[in-house]
Homo-oligomer: A and B are copies of this chain.
């Protein structure tokens, strides 16, 4: 099924007139296959084996292209570097403040808040972003043992 995701993504590129290069193919493949939400540098390092000559700039350029086409979402948390997430269906992120782990979860029907906010502020609403911060089970265990 990640196969079809990749195929869909490539189709999107084709219809949008974005050339499909081996580097783009590899970046997309990696983004889809990994369960993590990698930084640009992590992607760069992960593909170093396959593409010894690839430049970091290529990773950044293509992540921007993917974002513009809507294939990829850029996540900016407090820390230094952005993380990138292949867009499938809508989901939110639960983030461990201890170890940085990110877990996806689904939650339907936050559209009402978009409505509400639109009414209150007079904005046209395009999208929203929600993250929840906490402590993951394994970090809870660790801190329990320490005490």
Q: Point out residues on A near B: beta carbons under 8 Å.
A: 74, 76-78, 82, 92, 94, 96-97, 103, 105, 107, 110, 113-114, 116-118, 120-137, 140
Contacts and interface: CB of A to CB of B under 8 A. Distances in A.
A58 B82 CA distance: 25
A136 B120 CA distance: 12
State how many copies of this chain the complex holds.
2
B134 A125 contact: yes
B126 A135 contact: yes
Contacts of A74: 78
Contacts of A82: 78
Most buried by B among A97, A114, A131, A134: A134
Most buried by B among A121, A127, A132, A135: A132
A78 B78 contact: no
